[in-house]
Amino acid sequence: MAIQFGTDGWRAVIGWDFTADNVRICTQGVAQYLRRTGMASRGLVVGYDTRFASEDFAAEVAQVATGNGVPTLLSTNAAPTPVVSYNVVHRHAGGAAIITASHNPPQWNGYKYKPDYGGSADQGVVDELEREIALALGHEVPRLPLTDARSQGLLQDIEPGPPYLAHMSKLVDLPVLQHSGLKVAVDAMHGAGAGYVPELLAGMPGLTELRGERNPSFPGMKQPEPVGHNLGPLSQYITEHRYDVGVALDGDADRLGVIDEKGQFISTLQTFALLCLYLLETRGLRGPLVKSITMTSMVYRLGELYGVPVYETPVGFKYLGPVMRREDALAAGEESGGYAFRGHIPERDGILSGLFILDMMARTGKRPSELLQHLFSKVGEHHFDRWDVPFDPAKRSVVVQRVASRNPEAIGGKGVLGRDEADGTRFRLKGGAWVLIRFSGTEPLLRLYAEAESPARVKRLLSEARELAGV
């Protein structure tokens, strides 16, 4: 099979395409890439999440990397993707291989590669990796037993948490949060982020963590993605115990979901706009903002209000990250709930994003619903939703041709001002609304996105977009 990287890494179903053999081949390609680019001597950090057998797949990565003579730093425990990514920069390593399928359903696992800058591999790196992996197919893959790798000095066992936790204390005034009086519930969703927020905010009397134990089946949810329909337990806990806010992390803790004090989910687009407002207004910082095509148009209005440029990219941090680095951007965000910030790594970090939301609350004295109304008072009311529609991959070209051939004058009662094909098909509508039809880069799903002035309008836009696509 061809191992191909989507918006962030290669993902497949465990036991079918995601096998030990394919993980070895993937790692052989990574080792060849590191040698060819002169990065092999700097070493490879290897991390993993809490999914089924992730630590075993990570051990296979370490055996192949050391078998190729690449010095390897293997995590001693499951760790969030941003934690492993930060260790690349902190330890001046050549890159990182992380066994994780992020937010995918439990039967999936995956393989993310992070270059020396600690962010998602950009498209150029991805193309080179895929070429090296293809060259490795059909050839014997060298492997070195871990005990031999340790005795030869090629393998070092590391705890990735401490350097990251120390770095967080420089980005956020943790004592202020610990003594803020906020009542905070954290939903780890049985993922790799469990324990990190409680450790960072140790001694905070109003802090509770839910679903912090490892459970690779991710019970009670279709997949460990921090979106409204997966956060029922968190919402219920907040309303029953009168908490101020709930923050949720996905399977590898690079994404954030927020539940307000009323138990209502704050959309990922609203959350990113709040984070931008926090940096620009609450902290008085300035710098460019970077958004994916599926991210909120509120960012453009904030850019106008605070005099900062806004850049737009296709979906995925392999596109957002390079622009963020090039422009020294203040923040970058995508609709999936992944947000990155200047002074950290050009990588999504759900933990830091959550801390920033808490810091905004502590500094302003406002609860989440009040912060949202404050945002709307500046940029107007905006609501968003996304529908994921399974489809037969064999009919992908039919859907593409159907959407390309349609040229509606209006969608959801709003006139079409224009369309673009930068990533899927986006229709720009009167009044600032928009709707987008695109295929997922990691799953056999057609994704429908819409943003408008009310939830009712959003639902109507999505319904008509689905009719337009014929799925």
* Per-residue model confidence as pLDDT tens digits over 276-308: 999 999 999 999 999 999 999 999 999 999 999
Mean pLDDT of the chain: 95
Q: What is the pLDDT of residue 442?
A: 67
Q: What is the pLDDT of residue 440?
A: 82
Q: Residues 446, 399: contact at Cβ < 8 Å?
A: yes
Q: Write out the residue range of the structural domain in which residue 436 sits.
A: 383-469
Residue 167 falls within a domain, yes or no? Answer: no
Both 97 and 137 in one domain: the answer is: yes
Residue 3 falls within a domain, yes or no? Answer: no
Q: What's the CA gap between 273 and 299, in Å, rounded?
A: 6
What's the pLDDT tens digit per position in 70-84? 999 999 999 999 999
Residue 370 falls within a domain, yes or no? Answer: yes
Q: What's the CA gap between 295 and 333, in Å, rounded?
A: 7
Average pLDDT over residues 30-49: 98
Chosen domain end from 379, 397, 427 = 379
> Percent of the chain at pLDDT above 70?
100
Q: What is the pLDDT of residue 8?
A: 85
Both 32 and 102 in one domain: the answer is: yes
Q: What's the CA gap between 62 and 413, in Å, rounded?
A: 56
Average pLDDT over residues 229-253: 97
Both 334 and 462 in one domain: the answer is: no
Both 250 and 122 in one domain: the answer is: no
What's the pLDDT tens digit per position in 349-378? 999 999 999 999 999 999 999 999 999 999
What's the pLDDT tens digit per position in 385-411? 999 998 888 888 888 888 888 889 999
Q: What's the CA gap between 404 and 280, in Å, rounded?
A: 39
Both 31 and 110 in one domain: the answer is: yes
Both 138 and 71 in one domain: the answer is: yes
Chosen domain end from 362, 379, 396 = 379
Both 339 and 351 in one domain: the answer is: yes
Residue 224 falls within a domain, yes or no? Answer: yes
Residue 247 falls within a domain, yes or no? Answer: yes
Alpha helices in 68-202 (DSSP H): 81-90, 123-136, 146-151, 161-171, 174-178, 196-200
Both 99 and 40 in one domain: the answer is: yes
Both 215 and 363 in one domain: the answer is: yes
Both 150 and 276 in one domain: the answer is: no
What's the pLDDT tens digit per position in 2-17? 798 887 899 999 999 9
User: Residue 142 is encoded by which pair of tokens?
Assistant: 């060298």
Residue 97: φ, ψ to 5°? -115, 125
Both 220 and 303 in one domain: the answer is: yes
Residue 1 falls within a domain, yes or no? Answer: no
Average pLDDT over residues 255-273: 97
What's the pLDDT tens digit per position in 117-148? 999 999 999 999 999 999 999 899 999 999 99
Residue 238 falls within a domain, yes or no? Answer: yes
The structure's pTM equals 0.94
Residue 434 belongs to a domain with what CATH number? 3.30.310.50
Residue scoring higher pLDDT (164 or 422): 164
Whether the per-residue pLDDT at 1 is higher than 80: the answer is: no
Residue 348 falls within a domain, yes or no? Answer: yes
Q: What is the pLDDT of residue 397?
A: 86
Residue 257: φ, ψ to 5°? -125, 145
Chosen domain end from 160, 193, 225 = 160
Q: What is the pLDDT of residue 186?
A: 98
Both 341 and 216 in one domain: the answer is: yes
Average pLDDT over residues 101-124: 96
Tally of domains in the chain: 3
Residue 289 belongs to a domain with what CATH number? 3.40.120.10
